[in-house]
């Protein structure tokens, strides 16, 4: 479904992502792990067209999307739920969700997806007319996830959905991500919370200073001594 072949990304002179290749099959949940500054967010931003890879190819559904504009990539069925939530705080909860469906014209199906998001996160239904800036951090993360579902994507990129949240909310967020996978969505999950991510993932990649250091089945990575030492606290 998604294939990165030897991509290189630069911020000015800084070589942030070096020759990364990774593959996600349809229906898979893949975790992308690594410390701060390892290149995880850069990789996601390159996939969704916010940044351009200087070399290499990004194949999504059989098409190279490296030169395609971000909004067209969304139209192809790829949704990117960005780091730090980035909800539109002056827009209402409902407006935030509706702008997630910006490119869609199938109004009946949009209403149905809206109900689906509300059933995943009932609190959003209660607060639909409130401006998003008044929500708590956890509720904003729920809104960000809900918003990314509104484009009815086949592939979802999640960037640190657990960042800065209380443990009980983190649990809920991971539960929902697992549920989305069970419903057949393909997911690339970027996390610093390696243990939780690997617990629900099929496979994982570990990034270190722009390189892929390790990759494998989630269970193997969980048992790997190096991963344990670096990311799982011994």
Partner 1 sequence: MSGTYLLQNLIDGISLGSIYALVAIGFSMTYSILRLINFAHGDILMIGAYSGLFIMVAWQLPLWASLLGAMIFAAFVGMLVERIAYRPLRGSNEEATLITSLAVSIFIENLGIMVLSPQPRGFAIPKFLTKLHTINEITISNMTILIISLAIILMLVLTYFVICTRMGVAMRACSENINAARLMGVNINKVVACAFAVGSGMAAVAGIMLAGQYGRIEPLMGFVPGLKAFIAAVIGGIGSIPGAALGGYVLGLSEILLVALLPAAYSGYRDAFVFIILILVLLFKPAGLLGTLEGRKV
Rounded least distance, CB 82 to partner 1, Å: 6
Q: Which residues bind partner 1 (CB under 8 A)?
A: 48-50, 69-71, 74-75, 79-80, 82, 86-91, 95, 98-100, 102-103, 147-148, 151
State the nearest-atom distance from the C-beta of 47 to partner 1, in Å: 11
Q: Which is nearer to partner 1, 69 or 106 (CB)?
A: 69
- If the CB atoms of residues 48 and 224 are measured against partner 1, the closer one turns out to be 48
Q: Shortest CA distance to 72 belongs to which of 60, 54, 84?
A: 60
201 touches 29 (CB < 8 A): yes
Integer distance in angstroms from the first to the last C-alpha of the chain?
A: 34
DSSP string, 191-230: ES-HHHHHHH-SEEEEEETTEEEEEEEHHHHHH-HHHHHH
Rg of the chain's alpha carbons, rounded to an integer?
17
- CB 130 to partner 1: min, Å: 16
| In the complex, minimum distance from the CB of residue 207 to partner 1, in angstroms, rounded to a whole number | 21
User: For residues 172 and 179, what is the distance between their CA atoms, to the nearest angstrom?
Assistant: 10
Question: 108 vs 225, which CB is nearer to partner 1?
Answer: 108
Least distance between partner 1 and beta carbon 168 (Å): 26
Q: How far, in Å, CA of 165 to CA of 35, rounded?
A: 18
What does 67-104 look like in DSSP terms, one character per residue?
TS-HHHHHHTTEEEE-TT----TTSBHHHHHHHHTTT-
**By C-beta, is 86 or 136 nearer to partner 1?**
86
Choice between 81 and 201, CB closer to partner 1: 81
């Amino acid at each position: 479904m998604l294939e990165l072949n030897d991509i290189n990304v630069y911020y000015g002179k800084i070589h942030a992502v070096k020759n990364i290749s990774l593959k996600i099959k349809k229906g898979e949940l893949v975790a992308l792990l690594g410390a701060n500054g390892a290149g995880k967010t850069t990789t996601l931003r390159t996939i969704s067209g916010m940044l351009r890879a200087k070399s290499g190819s990004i194949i999504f559904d059989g098409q190279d999307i490296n030169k395609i504009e971000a909004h067209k990539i969304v139209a192809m069925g790829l949704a990117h739920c960005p780091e730090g939530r980035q909800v539109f705080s002056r827009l209402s909860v409902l407006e935030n969700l509706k702008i997630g469906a910006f490119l869609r014209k199938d109004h009946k199906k949009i209403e149905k997806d809206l109900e689906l998001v509300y059933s995943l996160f009932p609190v959003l239904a209660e607060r639909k007319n409130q401006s998003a800036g008044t929500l708590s951090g956890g509720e904003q993360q729920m809104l960000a996830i809900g918003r990314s579902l509104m484009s009815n994507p086949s592939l979802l990129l999640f960037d640190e959905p657990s960042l800065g949240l209380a443990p009980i909310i983190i649990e809920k967020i991971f539960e929902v991500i697992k549920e989305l996978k069970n419903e057949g969505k393909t997911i690339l999950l970027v996390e610093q919370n390696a243990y939780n991510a690997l617990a629900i993932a099929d496979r994982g990649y570990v990034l270190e200073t722009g390189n892929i250091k390790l990759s494998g089945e989630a269970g193997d990575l969980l048992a790997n001594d190096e991963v344990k030492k670096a990311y799982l606290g011994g």
